[in-house]
Every structure is written in C-alpha cells, then in structure tokens.
Chain A
Amino acid sequence: MESVNEKERRSALSRRRFFGSVAGGATEAALIGAAVTAEAHPGALEAPPAETIPITLTVNGHTHALMAEPRWTLLHVLRDRLGFAGTKQGCERGECGSCTVLIDGVARYACMTLAVEAAGRQITTIEGLLEGGELGPVQQGFLEEDGYQCGFCTPGQIVSVEALLRKTPDPNLDQIREGISGNLCRCGAYANIFRAARRAAELKKAGR
C-alpha cells in the first residue's frame, strides 16, 4: 500500500508535467527550432489496474456471463469477448454508427455504452435480426434494393432501420433519413438505403 505522501508526490508531478506542456505550447513560437521539450505523450494517463467484475449480458436472447473491466465498452465485449463480429467498429467515439445495436429495442452506439451499463438489458445485434437462419425483413430489403456497397456500415444501418420500423412501421422519406442520420456510409449508398427501408416496411407489413 503506497503512502499518502507518495500519492501526493505523483499527483504533483503529473500536474507539473501538465503545466509544463501548456507552457511549452505557449512559448513554442518563440523557441521553435531550438526548444527541446520533455513531455509525456499528450493525454498520458496512468493505466488503471485491470480489475474485472462479473457481469451478465443478454445478447439476442441468450445470456452470457463474463468477467469485464469496468472500462470495457459494449462494443469491445460483443466483438472481442463474445464473438459477435457483425457489430462493426468504425470510430470508437460515437460518430459513425457502424456499431449500432438495439438495447431494449432502442438503437444505441455500442462504442459509447459501457458493457456494465448494458448488463441486465436486452441487446440485439445484426446476427439477432436473422429469422431461423434466413435474412430478416430489413436485411431482405437491403438485399433487394442493393442498400450497401462495402457492407461495413451496413449492420449498423440495418439495426437503425429495424429500430425505426419498430417505432414507425410506415415511415416517410424524412423519417427514414432521420432514422439513419446517425449512421455514416462513406460509399454513399444512402439512395438505396432509403429504398431498402421502404421495402423492409412492406415486408414487415406483409408478415415477413
């Protein structure tokens, strides 16, 4: 167990380092070309101890018990601990939507959700939208309308459309746009995604 003094010394050190790097920035212009600055890499953090706690996640109707670090995101646990690789990792900062999953029926970014937050709730991934091993209605709509190109953002797009249709079974174009506005597609397949969402609504209505 380290002493209080030791802790204070370390925290004073890191404060000094912080101020040092700020000062370095301010005087950069003057010293440029000559200055030699010693600094930790920006954003330097002490590693937290890798303590794990038990959590239970319900994914696509099945429960999974595991030991998780509190800092682990739901995305990390789904992909790297439980093998649900259909949920894609695009930015890890809540901007692209590739990792969208349903949590209690609502579209959420798995990269912005800690695994511990999702414990005890119903999580649905792209794999969970299959029906008896066949494509579900939203996936079928995407297939028929070519609502994708590289397919990397697609699981997230499909999950967002699923969330939209659960709330709004017969969406108009503006509602579809809004429904997938948090899902980026760099390939630019939006025009077909709009059609795929309409087709999915029809398929759902027809009982598919």
Chain B
Amino acid sequence: MDLNPKPWTQTTVVGKAVPRIDGAERLSGVTRYALDVSLPDMLFAATLRCPHAHARVVKVDLSKAREMPGVRAILSDADKEAQIPWYFNGYGPNARALSRLFDPHCRYQGEEIAVVAAETQLQAWDAVRAIQVEYQQLPFVTSLEDAQKPGAPPVQDGGNLASPASVYTRGDIAKGFAEAEAVVEETYRTSCELHTSQEVHGCVAHWDGDLLTLWDSDQSPFDIQRGVAELLRMPLSKVRVNARYGAGFGSKLDTSKYMVAAALIARKTRRPVKYFLTREEVYLCVGNRPAHLMKLKAGAKKDGTLTAFELTAAGEVGAYPGDDNVGQMVQELYTCPNVKITEDQYFINAGQNRAFRAPGFPQCAWALEQTMDALAEKLGLDPVDFRLKNVAMVCQTEENRPYTSNGLPQCLSEGAKAFGWKEARAGARGEAAIVRGVGVASGMWGYLAPPHATVIVKYFDDGSANLNMGSTDIGTGHCTVMAQIVAEELGVPLGKIEVESADTQTTQFADGASGSRSVMITGPAVRSACLDVKAKLLAAAAAEFQVFDGDLKFENGEITGPPGVPRTPARRLRFVQEQGVVVGVGVRAPHPANKSVRPFCTHFAEVEVNRRTGEVRLVRMLAAHDSGRVMNLATYSNQVYGGITMGIGFALTEQRILDANTGKMLNANFHDYKIPTALDVPAELTVLPIDPHDTEVNSTGTKGIGEPALVPAAAAIANAFYHATGVRATVSPITRASVINLLHQGRKQG
C-alpha cells in the first residue's frame, strides 16, 4: 500500500467543522496546563533580575536572603554548576558563548542574577527582595536608530552590528529603475511587539533518579529536550519534556534559562521545583518581534509591470544575536526581474528577539503592500488589478521552481468580489469628522526546513484507536484535526479516538508547533500510520478469508471483498482479536522535489478614521486564504480571526516603549501594552477559504494557516487608512496621537 498517496478526493470527516475533541476538558477547567501542575513537596522559584538596561554586577550578597523564612536554595553565578554558557554568536561547534546563565555582565533590564527556591511562592519573592546587589551601571542604547549612530554605547564587544549585512540580488537594479516609468520610495518603521501568551512561561522540574522531567509551557518539546540535554550534558533519554500548552506565538520554541535553573535547583534540593515567570518578566525576557526600519523603492512600467525593488532594512535583535529577516516577500510575492535587498541587524540593550508569528513577514507586508498601493496610485491602477497583474507563479527565491499551488490570483479576485471591493473603493469617503476607506494587502508565508514526524496509531480490538504523535496543540485545534484524519481513514468515531501528544518520553519526534506546519507536517504522517494499520488489517483479512489482499477493501472500518468474503468489522478479524491491537507507524515524507510550497492570502479592510480624535476603527475585514485544503472550517476560521485580531494590534496599538533616559521598559504590563480587546474587533469578519486542490504538496493537500492569517492584516488596515485620509501612515502602530500629527502635517502640506 502506498503510505503517501495523493490527497483525498472525497472525505466524510476531514473538512468538517467538528468541535474540538478536547473541548469539554478545556471548557470545564479540567485541562491541566503547565502552570497548574502541582507535585507533592514542591518548591517555588523566583528570580532576581537586573533592574538596569546595562550594568555589571559587582557584588551579590545572598547572606540575608538565605536567612529568610522558607528559603531552601539560591542559585547564582557563584555556583559552579550554574556556570553554563548562554547566548552564542552563531551555530555549530565554533560558536562562541557571549554570556552565561547568571552572567555578571547584564545587557538588558531583566537579565538573571539569582534564583531562589522556597517553600511558598511569596517566600521566594520575599527572599529575592532581600538579596543585596552592587551594580556598576553602564551606558546603554535603546533604539534601532541610536544603535547605528557613531559612538553609540556598544552592547557587545564588537559594537552594535549584530551580523554582517545580508545582501540578496537578482537582475540589474539600476537597469530596472532606468526602465521604470513610475518610481516610489518611502521609509517604513514597525515597532517592537511582544507575544504575551495568556499562559506565562515556566515549568515544573522533577528528578526521578537520573531522569529529569519538565512539565513545561512550550510549543516544541523535542527541541527543548535537546537544548536542556546539551546544556546539562545529559543523554536525550534522560530528559523528558511534557509540553502543556497555553499558547506561544513563537516565544515558547526556545530553551530558556528558567528550564535549566529549575532542573539545577530541583537536583540541588532533591525536590520538585515550580518556576514560572511573572507577567512583567514575560514582557522583558522571553522574546519579541523586533522593530524594523525598511526603506523600500519600487519601479514599474505604465502598464503595471514591475521592473525593480530595492529594500534596505535594519532590525533590532536585542542584546544578543537573533534574526528576523524581512526580505522574503519582496523577493518572491510578485514577479520582478531586478531585486536588491540589504538587511542589517543591530544590538540594543533589551531582551533578545524570538520568532513571533510569521517572523519578518508582517513587517515586510507593512512596507511592501503600502508600496504596492502607492505605486498603483501613481500608475492610476486599481490596487487589486495591479497586484493581480504581478502575482508570481514561480518561486523566484528558489530557482524559479513552480509552486505546488498558488491561489493568490483567486484570493485577490474572489476576495474582491466577496468584499464588494469596486463599490466600496468608489464609495464616498466623507467630508465630516469621520471618514471611511477601504484597503487591500496580500501576503504569503515561506518555510524551507525539511519536515519531520513519526506517528504511531494503535487500533484496538474494540474498534477504538490511540493516536500517538509528538506534535503540540498550542490552541490551534491540531489534535482534533489529526483525530479527524484517523476517523477518515479507519472509520473510528472521533469519540473513540484518544490523542497522546507532545511528550518526549511517550511520543515520537515531531517538529515543534512553528512555521504554520503542524498540520502539514504531522497530518501526512498520521495518514501514513493509518494506512499502515489498514494494510496490516487487509493482510490479516486476506489470510483469514484465503483471498488476495488486493481483492479486499477497507471501508468505514469494515472489510469487504469478493463474493464469499463476509462484510466484517475490522475489529472482529481473528488477528485483531488475538493480538488485541494493530500498530501502524507513519513517517513524514520529504517535501516534493523541485517545487516550492507556500500559502498565500489577501486581506480587505474597511476603516473609519475620526479626524478630530485620531481614532481608527476597523469596520469590517475579509480574509481570503489559500492554505490548501481546509481540514476543519471551525479551527481554520478561528486561526484567521486570531491573525486578524493580532494584526489590529500591530496596526493600531502595540509597541514596546523603552525609556531613552533610563533604558527601562515603560509598558511591561497588559494595561500599558495594548493588545486588542473585545471592544476592538469588528463584528464583521469574513473568512474566504480558497482551495487550489493542491495534489502535490503532501498527502493531505494542506499548506498551513496560522501565520499567513496575520501577515497582511495590518498592511490592509494601513492602506484603508490612506484611502480614508489621503495620508500615508508609515510608522506602526497608527496611534491616535500619530493620526492627529499625520493629519496636521497633511493639512500643512496640502
């Protein structure tokens, strides 16, 4: 049996908007997240963090803290076992550590100095406050712009340039602009955003002999298992990570200091340790989407043919190397023969960036899609038509290979139709205090990494099944979608499928929940495992009925065959009844050779702008997405709603504010760092799935929805803002104060 067949042509369970199989547990408060794990005799940990943007720790006096009630252990740089290298200047054996677990050189507000474990959480905090530290404060730099200035205080020894400029070129940029009949150029800036998952970061660490178990709030248990094992010099078999998931958006992919410190203290005290960050610490220490400056120049001919793109971008990585490249959509979303992209990354005295939902792409969309709008206007073309004309049907980044599918033209045209684009665009914008506008933006998501997943499906002799997979459901409905595949293939009702996932001890390696790839990576492996079960059942039936297995069929959990073979429920086969279980194993096949895989999307937005108060209100939004097959319309749509909602924050409210005078973050809390609330989301959000019936991408026909759902949302809002006001908002977020300033400048110029 081919374990990696073409995608289904007809389905009965896959594609249905079934409720989540773990819904009742999540909705009744029964689900145990990492933060809810409680073990007998557990200690609680709290961290002393550097309060300064840049300082050297001269002296740490733990004597008073050690005498505090309930304190059982304090871990600091004075402990030999805690001198673990951290933050590297690259990858591989030659990478050099730039810091260590409790490094006395603190390069941002929030760097770890000591961890206390005590009998209660409050006692741990009391003791942290009793630690006396002498700091030598050092000059600091808190913005991307300042970091680039000559004489700026260096964050790292080599200065503030985090990595040599990456340059991408194709064609001849000078020729491209010479051929252009219209050229636009603008500098865009996006602000630093924080992930702020609802569950804070943290874990419970427990040693059972030499086996370390971490119940951790993360989205990539196998990567974290490897990271912790390497840092503690332990074999993988002795590190168990059980991921319990309260969302992550990319901030819970990395091996974090708290994991290693929890393990060390648990070993030292011989007791389980619960170690979670506070909300403020999450804002400071576990990642962000870095701010970006993007100068984008674009040229086109009168007929709308693009001739050149030139992007010069700078991003801030925080105090230690990271990356968040923004160029990929400029490279490949639209057909353009001449492209040059230069990207620099700079250090500032702030927490290191981490992957954040489609890293680099929403920033790029902010610049690219506003540029496309400006160019369309200059050419007198409709923004939808202009994009349609330039959609790239081959992947220009990957040697002009064709995409397995590209539904972007349909996203644009069918989306425009469903939104009522032409009418809305032509409609009156209004002269009163409140003006209206509509905007469009497209996007894509790109991933290159090879896929990995090994899945086990157990089919029991009562007709129920266990799905055992390493992937992680961080809130996407992943487990439900995977169970739908089992139900589809084996005819087992969803209620009789138990999913076991995201535990490095009891499930097999799978890539983490990142890159919008959980469904598209693990899904085909689940299908393979089911087909393996099916092949074994057919072989057993062939032996039992003395026919060729090729003459038998498996339908809805039953074996049927030529005359003489009774219609038999698979569970009733003698082999199954004797063995008790049939085990199928599925391994994810590679991506198709010589084809590129991308999801695509277009968002349409309508906004109202109050010219007196500066308020921007999103009236409605339509999101057309080609992410391949829709496995479950309910969870798919929910991802899109979530992406749009996050895009509203990107466009209108979210920004980390670092005080230039003190170097400290001014809004490290939910009150001052404004994520969208129920009051900010429009009632009318429409999801328009475009299914290109991709038969090549993998055996499920899926391409991933989580990240593309966010990519163009903010840019569509920005373009609608321009349509409403006639003023380009180049800086995110478009706050009320910035709107008043923009409109004032617009009036002066106009």
Contacts and interface: CB of A to CB of B under 8 A. Distances in A.
Interface string A20-39: 00000100110111011111
For A90, A93, A151, A190, the residue with the greatest tally of chain B CB atoms inside 10 Å of its CB is A151
Nearest to A150: B475
B27 A143 contact: yes
A14 to B, nearest CB: 12
Contact of A71 (B48, B58, B122): B122
Given A177-B679, A186-B247, A43 B35 contact: no
A192 B635 CA distance: 10
Contacts of A76: 121
B68 interface: yes
B546 interface: no
A41 B48 contact: yes
Contact of A95 (B36, B131, B670): B670
Contact of A181 (B129, B642, B679): B679
Contacts of A189: 638, 641-642
A193 B26 CA distance: 14
A42 B638 contact: no
B469 interface: no
Contact of A191 (B33, B245, B641): B641
Nearest to B140: A32
Contact of B678 (A28, A87, A181): A181
Contact of B139 (A33, A80, A139, A158): A33
Contacts of A33: 137-139
B29 A127 contact: yes
Contacts of A53: none
Given A28-B137, A37-B135, A37-B137, A149 B247 contact: yes
Interface residues of B, number: 79
A154 B279 contact: no
Interface string A47-58: 100100000000
A186 B48 contact: no
A44 interface: yes
Contacts of A126: 28-29
B199 A150 contact: yes
B51 A41 contact: yes
B230 interface: no
Interface string A168-199: 00000100111011011111111111100000
Contact of A151 (B278, B475, B670): B475
Given A149-B475, A186-B197, A143 B23 contact: yes
Interface in A108-148: 125-127, 129-130, 135, 139, 142-144, 146, 148
B547 interface: no
A148 B26 contact: yes
A188 B682 CA distance: 12
A135 B662 CA distance: 51
Contacts of B19: 143-144, 146
B291 interface: no
Contact of A93 (B70, B135, B279): B279
B10 interface: no
A184 B675 contact: yes
A106 to B, nearest CB: 19
A45 interface: yes
B249 interface: yes
A96 interface: yes
B474 A190 contact: no
A90 B199 contact: yes
Contacts of A85: 29, 32, 36, 38
Contact of B198 (A36, A84, A184, A194): A184
For A35, A125, A127, A152, the residue with the greatest tally of chain B CB atoms inside 10 Å of its CB is A152
Nearest to B644: A188
B198 A146 contact: no
A29 B659 CA distance: 13
B424 interface: no
Contacts of B35: 88-89
Contacts of A88: 33, 35, 198-199
Given A148-B27, A150-B247, A152-B33, A96 B678 contact: no
A197 to B, nearest CB: 10
B634 interface: yes
Nearest to B131: A41
Nearest to A159: B29
A78 to B, nearest CB: 11
For A176, A183, A190, the residue with the greatest tally of chain B CB atoms inside 10 Å of its CB is A190
A12 interface: no
B476 interface: yes
B731 interface: no
Interface in B167-199: 195-199
A202 B56 CA distance: 61
A68 B643 CA distance: 43
A48 to B, nearest CB: 8
B278 A37 contact: no
Nearest to B20: A146
Nearest to A48: B126
A74 interface: no
Contact of A40 (B58, B129, B644): B129
A105 interface: no
14 contacts: A32-B137, A47-B130, A84-B29, A88-B33, A92-B278, A135-B24, A143-B19, A146-B635, A150-B199, A151-B26, A173-B683, A181-B679, A185-B198, A191-B645
Given A40-B129, A149-B475, 15 more contacts: A31-B137, A39-B133, A41-B131, A69-B122, A89-B200, A91-B669, A98-B198, A146-B17, A149-B477, A151-B26, A152-B198, A178-B679, A187-B475, A188-B642, A190-B677
